[in-house]
Amino acid sequence: MFSFGQLIFALCFLIGFTLIIIYSYRSDKKAQPNYFKGSYKILIGFFIAFGVLVLIKYLTQQ
């Protein structure tokens, strides 16, 4: 489906993007802590929604 080079690029992009987002989040959280209260709830909700989508795809493939 994807070539080996495309998979390598996607992996490098994912790692780089994640590191940049983490760095940006930490620096913004230090500068303006009031905006980030309860942000872990949104992250948990995102993972639950993503998990439900993966589960639906897995269950409909059989």
Q: What is the pLDDT of residues 10-43, one digit of tens each?
A: 999 999 999 999 999 889 888 888 888 888 899 8
pLDDT of residue 44: 94
pLDDT of residue 35: 81
Structure tokens of 13?
Answer: 């992009």
The total of structural domains in the chain comes to 1
Q: Centre a 10 Å sphere on the Cβ of residue 36 and count the other Cβ atoms it contains.
A: 14
The 3-state secondary structure of the chain, one letter per residue: CCCHHHHHHHHHHHHHHHHHHHHHHHHHHHHCHHHHCCHHHHHHHHHHHHHHHHHHHHHHCC
pTM for the model: 0.59
Which residue range forms the structural domain that includes residue 35?
A: 4-60
Torsion of CA 22, 53, 62, 60, to 10 degrees: -160
* Residue 8 predicted with pLDDT over 90: yes
